[in-house]
């Protein structure tokens, strides 16, 4: 789950990292009022995405009047598909140098990776490509953490001069915050050194591990949930993993890998998948509500039901599907592929109750569904 800048910065402050003075505003009047108490400010669009500056979502204002004008322009703007509903109004900082600091979960080292660079303000991928000598990486053993001494060692030799100790301090505190809030990414870009020698987080990007939301009840409510379509929201409430796509061939499968592959095969055979919907893991007993959800999508012209049982029993999933079909009597062509745990029983009940025999392979089922979608009258 993403956190917007205004929600992420207080978390840094709680761990002793300095952030600019400021406040959140939802209207131009509120923006002017915040600026009133500060002086020269920067007005920043609050959306869960980067690239705000290039889109015109960040403006400097010398007076409260100017802050109001900028807020009026920015609120309501659309940035990378997100409508701006609020702005962060913050004091302007005297920037001496811009640094980069982040902690990220790293699959290669199977642990946290602390990243630091003296080239702040630009994308870290760009720094890695153009100035790798200015980028320092440190894998961390999460059981031991990342101490002030570790941070000092990491930033040594980067010509930070008198600021080295303060920068190392901020880096160690960043790691603390990362660990405390179950971050999968906590990034300060830029981390600035001011003319008067303060180290301040000018921006902050925080992504919380979705699996840890349950144990972060105090912090999680400040995050921005993913924007969902109507059907996606309905699926989420029912505990189903569903994503709307733009094609006409509906997909119901168990397990993420199999569901993605079903989408791939629909495309391989010249069609377009209408959705991602998987009922793997414990959700395999939810075939009935899952199918009901799919049938609520008017764009679907044909359907592939692809079950490969391991943990998920295909007989249980198939019975759920049959119940939904018997209850709703959908008038659209449905093609089955059923293999794995419970498949003999699943194939028997399909024949008994629906008079249907699954196709031999998922390729056959996907191909048939693509053809059927072209002529379906639904």
Among 169, 176, 209, 323, binds other proteins (CB under 8 A): 209
- Interaction with other proteins in 300-329: which residues (CB under 8 A)? 308-312
The answer to whether the CB of 120 falls within 8 A of the CB of 98 is yes
Identify which of residues 116 and 178 has a Cβ nearer to other proteins in the complex: 178
324 burial class (0-12, 13-18, 19+ CB within 10 angstroms)? buried
- Residue for token pair 């002086």: 39
143 contributes a contact to other proteins by CB under 8 A: yes
DSSP 232-275: HHHHHHTT-EEEE-SSSEEEEESSHHHHHHHHHHHHHTT--B-E
**Residue 224 binds to other proteins (criterion: CB under 8 A):** no
Q: How many whole angstroms separate alpha carbon 315 and alpha carbon 302?
A: 22
Question: Cβ of residue 120: shortest distance to other proteins, in angstroms?
Answer: 21
48 counts as binding other proteins under rule CB under 8 A? no
Mark the segment that binds other proteins (CB under 8 A) among 1-9, 29-37, 138-146, 156-164: 138-146
Please give the size of the binding site for other proteins, defined by CB under 8 A.
54
Verify cis geometry, omega within 30 degrees of 0, for the bond prior to 29.
Answer: no
Cβ-based neighbours of 5, under 8 Å, separated by 6 or more: 44, 46, 88, 203, 204, 205
How near is the Cβ of 184 to other proteins at its closest, in Å? 6
Instruction: Name the DSSP class of 196.
Output: T
Least distance (Å) between residue 132 CB and other proteins: 17
The neighbouring-strand residues paired with 192 are 98, 200
CB nearer to other proteins: pick between 154 and 207: 207
- Per DSSP bridges, beta strands 111-117 and 135-139 are antiparallel
Least distance between other proteins and beta carbon 364 (Å): 9
The pattern of x and - marking residues 101 through 120 that bind other proteins according to CB under 8 A reads: ----xxxx-xxx--------
Rule CB under 8 A: is residue 273 a binding residue for other proteins?
A: yes
Would you tell me which residues interact with other proteins (CB under 8 A)? 105-108, 110-112, 141-143, 179, 182, 184, 209-212, 214-215, 241, 243, 245, 253-261, 263-268, 273, 276, 278, 280-281, 308-312, 339-341, 343, 361-363
């Amino acid at each position: 789950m993403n956190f917007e800048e205004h929600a992420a910065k207080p978390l840094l402050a709680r761990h002793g990292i300095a952030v600019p003075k400021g406040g959140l505003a939802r209207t131009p009047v509120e923006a002017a009022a915040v600026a009133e108490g500060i002086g020269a400010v920067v007005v920043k669009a609050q959306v869960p995405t980067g690239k705000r500056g290039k889109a015109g979502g960040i403006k400097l204002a010398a007076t409260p009047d100017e802050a109001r004008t900028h807020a009026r322009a920015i609120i309501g703007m659309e940035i990378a598909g997100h409508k701006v509903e609020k702005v962060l109004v913050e004091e302007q900082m005297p920037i001496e140098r811009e640094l980069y600091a982040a902690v990220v979960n790293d699959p290669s080292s199977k642990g946290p990776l602390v990243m630091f660079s003296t080239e702040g303000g630009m994308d870290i991928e760009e720094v890695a490509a153009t100035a790798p000598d200015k980028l320092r990486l440190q894998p961390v053993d999460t059981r031991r953490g990342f101490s002030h001494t570790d941070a000092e060692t990491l930033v040594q030799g980067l010509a930070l001069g008198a600021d080295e100790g303060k920068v190392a301090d901020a880096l160690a505190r960043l790691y603390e915050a990362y660990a405390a809030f179950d971050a999968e990414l906590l990034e300060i870009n830029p981390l600035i050194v001011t003319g008067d020698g303060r180290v301040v987080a000018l921006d902050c990007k925080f992504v919380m591990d979705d699996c840890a939301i349950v144990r972060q009840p105090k912090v999680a409510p400040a995050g921005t949930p993913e924007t969902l379509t109507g059907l996606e929201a309905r699926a989420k409430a029912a505990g189903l993993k569903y994503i709307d796509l733009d094609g006409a061939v509906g997909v119901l499968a168990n397990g993420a890998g199999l569901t993605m592959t079903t989408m791939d095969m629909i495309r391989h055979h010249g069609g377009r998948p209408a959705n991602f919907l998987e009922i793997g893991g414990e959700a395999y007993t939810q075939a009935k509500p899952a199918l009901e959800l799919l049938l609520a999508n008017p764009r679907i012209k044909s359907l592939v039901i692809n079950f490969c049982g391991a943990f998920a029993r295909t007989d249980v999933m198939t019975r759920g599907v049959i119940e939904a079909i018997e209850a709703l009597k959908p008038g659209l062509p449905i093609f089955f592929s059923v293999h794995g745990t419970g498949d003999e029983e699943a194939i028997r009940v399909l024949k008994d109750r629906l008079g249907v025999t699954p196709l031999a392979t998922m390729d056959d089922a996907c191909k048939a569904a693509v053809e059927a979608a072209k002529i379906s009258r639904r």
